[in-house]
Amino acid sequence: MTNHFREQLAEGLVYAPGVWDGLTARIAEQSGFRALCASGFAISASLGLPDAEMYSMSENLDAVRRIRGASRLPVVADIDTGYGNAVNAARTARMFADAGVSAVFMEDQLAPKRCPAATSGVPTLLPVREAAGKVRAVRDEVGDELVLIGRTDGIGDDAIRRAVAYVEAGAEMIMPISKGFPDAESWKRLHDAVGVPLMCSLTAWTWTAEQFTPQVLREIGVGLALLPTQILLAATTATRASLERLAAGELAADVSRDYMEHADFLKLIGFDEVLHKQSLYLPETLEEA
């Protein structure tokens, strides 16, 4: 099976916004993006949970299937720690590949994970040989079907040692965390050491989002930049503001004037497409059936 996402990555820097369902996937595609990130942070939040690997692999997979069903764009999926040991991780990758994703990234933390964007300190990591074995198991299972991205939550030289081991085990890209590489120069050093493109998370309100311009990203070897929380925070901000106004007694009609028009939403969600198909395939009246 040809993975066309590799061709897209070869053409230059790709941005992938974090989505969590069919609606956000459709909006992102219509907005002009070329790829999507099935953000574990956002999928957790959509379940009312923090990003602490509290949802199951099946719940994550269900969200990814809904995203794939609503968009034709390549999907980069967050598979957390692979949901177990090397054998579990290989099965996880197989199921996500069968669901139609183009790439997965897997971290080297001890489960349950600790989200670096929401916790302090350094999480407990697997021994490097065990973590590399999980990468190798995934690669052996899916072959070239998926772009395999190895994430390390390590710091400095230890993170570089781990990243090199993951590349040797089959990772095509490496995702460091900003705590481990706190400036552009350290990212460039990592890229030079591993010899493969990097993936960067431009999480909202972090220094990477502020400082890593497209030019800087290219200079330090980043080929794929995720925007994992921007849509989530925008939607949450707008939703809370509307609900607070309604709860305070403001007229629904007045609050609605700040929204997109109903007809525009119907078009966005695909009603025109459905009506066109109905005109092609369904009888115009019950008598004709």
- Helix, coil or strand: residue 173: strand
Distance CA 276, CA 274 (A): 5
Distance CA 191, CA 164 (A): 10
Q: Are 161 and 130 in contact (CB under 8 A)?
A: no
Q: Are 187 and 194 in contact (CB under 8 A)?
A: no
Q: Which two tokens stand for residue 33?
A: 């993006």
For CA atoms 202, 203, 204, 210, the dihedral sign is negative
Residue type, 89: A
Q: Which two tokens stand for residue 50?
A: 């923090």
* Residue that has been written with the tokens 């690669």 in this structure: 139
Phi, psi (deg, nearest 5) at residue 201: -100, 115
Cα first-last separation, the chain = 42
Q: Is the peptide bond before 74 cis (omega within 30 degrees of 0)?
A: no
Q: Are 103 and 5 in contact (CB under 8 A)?
A: yes
Residue type, 18: G
183 is catalytic: no
From 21, 51, 264, 272, active-site residue: 51
Alpha helix stretches (DSSP H) within 39-127: 40-46, 57-70, 86-98
Q: Which residues are identified as catalytic?
A: 51
